Chain A
């Protein structure tokens, strides 16, 4: 095995962290979690089913469930209208990039939002949704329901009824819906017209609720984006009020003068019922293969996985019979050399050799005095060694050992 245990653990940790990053990123994008409000599939008062029906009557309509990133694959953007009404999440960088590309290729966009979530996209068209509810002295029944008659869009003339709208600021484009001079924006959300002096104040004056980025898009053959700061006006319970439906028709006709295809972005809404899980799964898959951040993370995971695979890979060894018949063992000659620790044994060997050479038993030999033994050994050096373990100066144990080995009875 090539890899150490700690190395493997670090690889597993790295892959797990990156995997969690991917999962959490996908979850945060797909788990919208605020219900099917403003969904074209919702037939309730808050849904857009009536507006959707109107769209279907005027063009081919396609519902986009996954992500606007797929707009890059669009064949005929000049005759395609992308509609996003009341998005319940912000668009990712990849989606913004795809929508910008779609616009550059001549695509048309109808965007409606009163929360500012869509500003990440509309800033590209120099348009911004201003946070804060717009109030006007011209309202119907309740100050939240604002009535507007200043609409500059094609041949449209009539009244629009808005439901708690925001306002739009823009540069370079053209306002298409304007409120009366008595309207004001409650920026601090306290419901009272105050803070009149500051630059971001709530002073009354005409505000725009709708704008188009490029009014001459038709002549120039460019793309166009319409931003409306009140998605509620297209809701089922509002669309049939005053001329809201007529306004929607006019918008579609204006943006798609030659007809074509409408793509309704439902990826920003939660699909009602069990289908929401299918939608989340599909969205997750599309994010995985289109989102730039996720691509980087996935690429890193893939690279780490490949390296990890190579790191932990254990090539299957070839089978081979291994015998142990060559093994050797030693007991008495573990260390081939002698040392001072061997002196007692050397003395014993010498005395035994003398004893055996003289044919004596151990007891008989033990009873002899050293003078007798000295005469038996007849070798002063060996006698000194046998009696005292003494060695002559300059000689080593090996030399004494050789003397003992060569000793013979005279």
Chain B
């Protein structure tokens, strides 16, 4: 794209007026003036610098929410007259922390350094770089985009430290690792028994075998790992409040934190996300799978109107019996909530409902004012939560006054 400035309009107007006057008045003086203006414009136009090469270096390509990333933009072009206006496009979900992503530079080898902050999880594009090439008199410009897009992956923020030191109060009712006094494939020694043909050789206790003159094998305690399924509500209504602080984002941060803690404790974590579709991620274990779960959570966008009832109906075949379920939903705008919860509890799933109060986030949009509609919705929500509690589920009513750490601590109480 090319264009011109107001200054160019001024120059061309002056040239035109002078030329017309020169012809009408047969004046050589005006003719010289007009030609001079035109010559300046043409001359300046011919000095528009060439298109530079632009490369971008990100300090790192993955980070967590609220972290900062330094971006280095390197320009390589011929040193000549004119000017370059460089603008490195950023995702609307990113903030400029330091310096600027726009700069005026003379042509040649140059670099720009700026720092961005990523307060919102997601896959944020950095670039492409828009380069506007100006003539020396700032009359004309030629603008183009250089296809050098980078992708910054911002994972939801987590409080892994707290999760790591959490203690499981009631082993059988809460997720976490628990040892059973029975034979299994754990690491703690349990007993010795006779060898049979299906036993692996590395379990043979050679000293005991030599003493008893027959092959004996070691038996170890079984370590039971618990599967925990997260049921995440990502419908459009979960996007109430601000972009950064809303029920969906809080739910995602909560899921990421708790999942990280559970994986560290040798549990397996599965994920069901419903919104416009229902996505089921089977339980996986090991900390190496945390990144995969984080990517799944990073990719979530608020959309759709699928109900919890329909989601639970769809997901039941994927839920192993008695698997603890953590439901994350503001419980709003969904008439099937109670039915779905009844269904889950009826199947024997220990249910923990973590419910960021959507109505409270909406109240914040109205600067905290208590409006009649808010009052009505708050009462309806309270009745619903009381009903769910009476069904046997643990409900954490998570208002914006409480932080993520509070919500996680509530789970373990």
Give A contacts to B, CB under 8 Å. Answer: 72, 289, 295, 298-299, 302-303, 305-306, 309-310, 313-316, 318-333, 335-338, 342, 345-346, 348-349, 352-353, 356, 359, 361-362, 397-398, 401-402, 404-405
Q: Give the contacts of B1-57 with A (CB-CB under 8 A).
A: 3-6, 9, 12-13, 16-17, 19-20, 23-24, 26
Report B73 CB to chain A, min CB distance, Å: 13
CB 8 Å contact bits of B137-150 with A (1 = contact, 0 = none): 00001010000000
Q: Name B21's closest neighbour in chain A (CB-CB).
A: A299
Chain A residues lying within 8 Å of B314, measured Cβ to Cβ, are none
Interface assignment of B221: CB less than 8 Å from any CB of chain A = no
Report B356 CB to chain A, min CB distance, Å: 13
- Which 5 residue pairs across A and B have the least CB separation, nearest first? A336-B371, A319-B87, A352-B383, A331-B237, A324-B92
Q: How far apart are the CA atoms of A87 and B243 in the complex, in Å?
A: 84
State whether A332 touches B358 (Cβ < 8 A): yes
Task: From known contacts A332-B358, A356-B383, infer whether A309 and B9 are also in contact, taking CB-CB under 8 Å.
Answer: yes
Q: How far apart are the CA atoms of A362 and B20 in the complex, in Å?
A: 91
Chain B residues lying within 8 Å of A327, measured Cβ to Cβ, are 242-243
Q: How far apart are the CA atoms of A95 and B101 in the complex, in Å?
A: 64
Report A349 CB to chain B, min CB distance, Å: 5
Could you pull out 12 A-B pairs where Cβ atoms are within 8 angstroms?
Answer: A295-B23, A302-B17, A302-B19, A319-B132, A325-B242, A328-B365, A330-B362, A331-B237, A332-B359, A338-B373, A352-B380, A401-B372
Q: How far apart are the CA atoms of A331 and B119 in the complex, in Å?
A: 23
16 more A-B residue pairs beyond the given contacts A316-B132, A319-B130, A359-B390, with a C-beta to C-beta distance below 8 A: A72-B26, A309-B9, A315-B6, A316-B141, A321-B94, A321-B96, A325-B119, A326-B242, A331-B239, A331-B332, A331-B333, A332-B333, A337-B373, A348-B380, A353-B379, A404-B379
Report B133 CB to chain A, min CB distance, Å: 12
Q: Name A315's closest neighbour in chain B (CB-CB).
A: B6
> Which of B93, B244, B379 contacts A405 (CB under 8 A)?
B379
State whether B20 touches A314 (Cβ < 8 A): no
Interface assignment of B246: CB less than 8 Å from any CB of chain A = yes
Give B contacts to A, CB under 8 Å. Answer: 3-6, 9, 12-13, 16-17, 19-20, 23-24, 26, 85, 87, 89-90, 92-96, 101-102, 119-120, 130, 132, 141, 143, 236-237, 239-244, 246, 332-333, 358-359, 362-363, 365-366, 369, 371-377, 379-380, 383, 386-387, 390
State whether A333 touches B93 (Cβ < 8 A): no
Q: How far apart are the CA atoms of A338 and B379 in the complex, in Å?
A: 14
State whether A309 touches B13 (Cβ < 8 A): yes
Chain A residues lying within 8 Å of B244, measured Cβ to Cβ, are 325
Q: How far apart are the CA atoms of A397 and B90 in the complex, in Å?
A: 48
Chain A residues lying within 8 Å of B332, measured Cβ to Cβ, are 331-332
> Which of B17, B130, B237, B362 contacts A306 (CB under 8 A)?
B17
> Which of A321, A326, A338 contacts B376 (CB under 8 A)?
A338
> Which of B26, B143, B387 contacts A356 (CB under 8 A)?
B387
Q: How far apart are the CA atoms of A118 and B156 in the complex, in Å?
A: 93
> Which of B20, B102, B236, B373 contacts A332 (CB under 8 A)?
B373
Q: How far apart are the CA atoms of A295 and B363 in the complex, in Å?
A: 70
State whether A310 touches B383 (Cβ < 8 A): no
Chain B residues lying within 8 Å of A314, measured Cβ to Cβ, are 3
Chain A residues lying within 8 Å of B3, measured Cβ to Cβ, are 314, 316
> Which of B94, B120, B246, B375 contacts A401 (CB under 8 A)?
B375
State whether B95 touches A323 (Cβ < 8 A): yes
Task: From known contacts A295-B24, A326-B242, A332-B358, infer whether A349 and B380 are also in contact, taking CB-CB under 8 Å.
Answer: yes
Task: From known contacts A327-B242, A327-B243, infer whether A302 and B375 are also in contact, taking CB-CB under 8 Å.
Answer: no
Chain B residues lying within 8 Å of A328, measured Cβ to Cβ, are 241-242, 365
Chain B residues lying within 8 Å of A321, measured Cβ to Cβ, are 89-90, 94, 96, 101-102
Chain A residues lying within 8 Å of B24, measured Cβ to Cβ, are 295, 299
Q: How far apart are the CA atoms of A356 and B390 in the complex, in Å?
A: 9
Q: How far apart are the CA atoms of A326 and B243 in the complex, in Å?
A: 7
> Which of B20, B374, B386 contacts A299 (CB under 8 A)?
B20
Chain A residues lying within 8 Å of B362, measured Cβ to Cβ, are 330-333
Chain B residues lying within 8 Å of A322, measured Cβ to Cβ, are 92
Report B399 CB to chain A, min CB distance, Å: 15
State whether B371 touches A323 (Cβ < 8 A): no
Which of B85, B358, B362 has the most chain A CB atoms closer than 10 A to its own CB? B362
Q: Name B3's closest neighbour in chain A (CB-CB).
A: A316
Chain B residues lying within 8 Å of A326, measured Cβ to Cβ, are 242-243
Chain A residues lying within 8 Å of B241, measured Cβ to Cβ, are 328-329
State whether B366 touches A323 (Cβ < 8 A): no
State whether A349 touches B383 (Cβ < 8 A): yes
Chain B residues lying within 8 Å of A299, measured Cβ to Cβ, are 20, 23-24
Q: How far apart are the CA atoms of A405 and B375 in the complex, in Å?
A: 8
Which of B5, B102, B383 has the most chain A CB atoms closer than 10 A to its own CB? B383
State whether B372 touches A329 (Cβ < 8 A): no
Chain A residues lying within 8 Å of B20, measured Cβ to Cβ, are 295, 298-299, 302-303
Q: How far apart are the CA atoms of A330 and B332 in the complex, in Å?
A: 12
Report B31 CB to chain A, min CB distance, Å: 10
Q: How far apart are the CA atoms of A283 and B369 in the complex, in Å?
A: 81
Q: How far apart are the CA atoms of A348 and B376 in the complex, in Å?
A: 10
State whether B374 touches A336 (Cβ < 8 A): yes
> Which of B16, B95, B120, B246 contacts A329 (CB under 8 A)?
B246
Report B91 CB to chain A, min CB distance, Å: 8
Report A101 CB to chain B, min CB distance, Å: 12
> Which of A329, A333, A349 contacts B239 (CB under 8 A)?
A329
Chain B residues lying within 8 Å of A345, measured Cβ to Cβ, are 376, 380
Chain A residues lying within 8 Å of B380, measured Cβ to Cβ, are 345, 348-349, 352
Task: From known contacts A298-B20, A324-B243, infer whether A335 and B5 are also in contact, taking CB-CB under 8 Å.
Answer: no
